[in-house]
Amino acid sequence: MKLNEIVSRDPEVVSGTLVFTGTRVPVQNLIDYLKAGDSLESFLEGFPSVKREQTEAFLEFALRSASAEVEHARAA
């Protein structure tokens, strides 16, 4: 999936908060669910407008981004 199919930011949607594309569901909600120990299934049940593929792609993107930052920090 392309990043714009996963998440989006628009000043007209939830005041520009980062949301899952095509929804009004903030990405922060997923992070809060996972931090609280809830499952991805629980999140998806609570927010049926978000697709599983979006959440999985977002988590993969976040992991790749964090890994790249660590590698960049090591090189500096």
* Domain harbouring 58, CATH code: 1.10.10.10
Residue 26 in 3-state DSSP? strand
Q: What is the mean pLDDT of the chain?
A: 95
Helix (H) or strand (E) holding 19: strand 19-20
Q: Count up the domains in the chain and report the number.
A: 1
Share of the chain above pLDDT 90, in %: 87
Q: Which residue reads 């990405």 in tokens?
A: 27
In terms of pTM, does the model score above 0.85? Answer: yes
Q: The tokens of 43 are what?
A: 């999140």
Please tell me what DSSP assigns to residue 14.
G
Spacing of C-alpha 73 from chain mean position: 23
The yes-or-no verdict on residue 72 having pLDDT over 90 is no
Query: What pLDDT was estimated at residue 19?
Result: 98
The yes-or-no verdict on residue 27 having pLDDT over 80 is yes
Q: The tokens of 17 are what?
A: 């908060």
Q: The tokens of 65 are what?
A: 């981004």
Name the residue range of residue 60's domain.
3-75
56-70 pLDDT per residue, tens? 999 999 999 999 888
